[in-house]
Structures are given as structure tokens and as C-alpha cells.
Chains A and B, each alone.
Chain A
Amino acid sequence: MNVKDTVLKIISAETKTPLKEIDLKADIRDMGVDSLATVEIVVAIEEQLGIEIPEDSVNEIIVIEDIIEICQNLHS
């Protein structure tokens, strides 16, 4: 499974949104993801991908695409 699929699967589980309905341009707050849930997602991604996402990057997350981009950069 690639980075994008892993991230989307985690977000889908966290937000209880079907994978197909996730809009990459959606603001994560509009999906019910508050600051605590963001860190929950970050922790799950770190565990799955074996990466560490810096705090500055976490603060920059606005849309789902941001998370995928950060993870792809760190993973590569």
C-alpha cells in the first residue's frame, strides 16, 4: 500500500467517512477533525509509515492533501 492510500485509510477510519467520499481538497476541520483528532491521525500515520512528522508540519495541515504531501516527502 502506498503512502497516499495508507493516509487516506487512516483518515477514513478516524473520521468514519467512506474512503470514496474523502475529498483531498477538503478542510479537515469540516470533516470533524479537531486539533486532538489531528494529532491522533498523525500518531497513527507515524506508526504505520515509520516516520516522525515534525510539530511545525502538523501546524501547517489544513486540507487532506497537506497531510499526504508531508508524509510523501518524509517517506521518500
Chain B
Amino acid sequence: MQKHLKKFGRFNLSNNFKIKVVQAFAYLGAVATLIFWWDTTLFILAMIWGWLLTGFGSSMGLHKMSAHRSFKPKNRFIKLFLLFMGTIVSMGSTIYWCDTHRLHHGTSDSDKDPHPPRGSLWNKIKIWFYYFKPYKIEPMRVKDLIADKDHMWFHKNYYKIVIGWIVLLGLIDLKIAAYFYCVSMLYVFFGISYITVVAHVPKLAVRGYRLFNSTDYTYNSHLFAWLLWGEGYHNTHHNNPRLYNLALLPDEFDYSAKVIETIGIPFEQKPKKFDTIVRL
């Protein structure tokens, strides 16, 4: 009986489902805000905040610092700041997100990829909204992060931080919460979905090009590198996951690298020699 009670006590909504609920809240809240509560000034400010969240939260916090260890923050304050930004972008904790991302890097665009944007348009739309087929979470893949007490703290308090952040903004003003959580999330989600889907589908490329003739379908884009803190150089990233500066050509510019050099100690920049420039 006690055993059954313990099992019942563990019954809970899946972590994945809860993350989706928060994301759906942000999406629906953003759409409702833009339709019923339009404010040009707040919209522009929310997009700027979304761009900052993309840089410090998604790109540096989740991606380069946590998933790939491309740099070490110069001090603990910077690390906690990046972890906080990486949490409020609502993609799941660093431990959860990096597990998926590291699996993706090892299996990119193959059947084992947790989010291959292949097949029908409907499949691409599902992946755009992070509706992935079930895959095995493997905590050993993120053992280094589990061993880090700061990452674990943010993981264990993930929902408290995200909901606390929304409530805090709401206490200032409901309109502030609507714009600086929901609407700014549109920029963040667009950035991550672009990288997850469009940056892996060469047919959708606008002036895209490949430097590395790898087995995946990734490509680089100047436009999205500018919008997404260098992350648009996705072909370069997939072939050099630990690079903190993804600009390899004279006309490429990864401004996140300049920020990383200021706030962190970058991992040694040793890019592979690229094959040739193939315009798409």
C-alpha cells in the first residue's frame, strides 16, 4: 500500500507538458496583447528586450555557456545573471534544454534527431512550436551541469523563477507583463524556432550559404546572424560546436563574441578549415 501511495505521490504532469503550457501562455498572451492592447512604444521596447533576452538568455546563457561550454563567465554574478536570463526565456532549465540540444548535435537531421524538420509542412510547423516526437532524456549527457550547484538550483526552481518573473512584471503593471513577458517572448521563440527549423531547411534560405559540407542540412545566413547574436551562422556552429565566435569569413560578424570576450573567458577559438563557399 505504502509503495502505491509513494507512486501516486510522484504522479505529476510531465516537465515537457508544463514547459509547453508556459510557452502557450506566452504565445496566446502575445497575440491577445497585440490585438486588444496595441501600444507602439511598448511594442518596440518589448522587441528590444526580446533581442536582449535572445542574446543573454538563449544564445549565451543556454547555448554557448551551458550546452557547449564555449566560454566560462568571468565571475559568479555574471554566471547567475546568464542563468537567470536563460531561465526566463522559458525554454526549460539549462539541464533540460542542454540534454535535448546535445542529443541534437550528435544526431542532427537524422532519424535520431529529437527535432528533425523534415517531411511535411505540418511536421515543420509542429517542430516550430517545439512539439517533438518522444525521445529519451539522458541525464548522463548533462552530468557536468548536474554537478554544478548553480545549474541545479535554477533547474529545481525553474517554475518558481519563471512564474515569479511574470508575477513581478504584473505587479508593476499588467500591460508591462503583457509586453515584457508575452510579446518579447515572440522574438525569443522566433529566434529559437528559426534555428531549429528554417536553419536546417536549405529550401527556405534567403541568401544562405554553406561553408562545411557536412551530412546535416544546416546553412549560414548573414541576416539571421545579425538578428540572433551570431546564431545565424548555423552551418559553422554545427561543424564547430565549441566556437564562441562563429564568424569565419571577412564579411561575417558575430557580435555576441565581443560581449563574450567582455563577460567571459572564451574556450580556445580553433575553427576547422572550411571546405568551400556554396551559395544556396
Could you list which residues of chain A lie within 8 angstroms of chain B, going by C-beta atoms? Answer: 30-32, 35-36, 38-40, 42-43, 47, 55, 58-59
Contacts and interface: CB of A to CB of B under 8 A. Distances in A.
A43 B3 contact: no
Given A40-B152, A43-B146, A32 B139 contact: no
B140 A32 contact: no
Given A30-B3, A30-B7, A32-B6, A39 B137 contact: no
Interface in B127-172: 137-140, 143, 146-147, 152
A36 B139 contact: yes
Nearest to B152: A40
B266 to A, nearest CB: 26
A58 B9 CA distance: 25
A22 B138 CA distance: 26
A37 to B, nearest CB: 9
Contacts, number: 29
B95 interface: yes
A40 B146 contact: yes
Interface of B: 3, 6-7, 9-10, 95, 137-140, 143, 146-147, 152
Contacts of A42: 143
Nearest to A43: B147
Contact of B6 (A30, A35, A38, A58): A30
Across the A-B interface, give the 10 residue pairs with the lowest CB-CB distance, nearest first.
A39-B139, A43-B147, A36-B139, A39-B146, A35-B139, A55-B140, A43-B146, A40-B146, A39-B143, A32-B10
B106 to A, nearest CB: 14
A36 B140 contact: no
Nearest to B137: A35
A43 B6 contact: no
Given A40-B146, A40-B152, A43-B143, A35 B3 contact: no
Contacts of B95: 36
A40 B146 CA distance: 6
A61 to B, nearest CB: 11
Contacts of B6: 30-32
Contacts of A59: 140
- Which among B10, B137, B140 has the highest number of chain A CB atoms within 10 Å? B140
A42 B143 CA distance: 9
B103 to A, nearest CB: 14
Contacts of A36: 95, 137, 139, 146
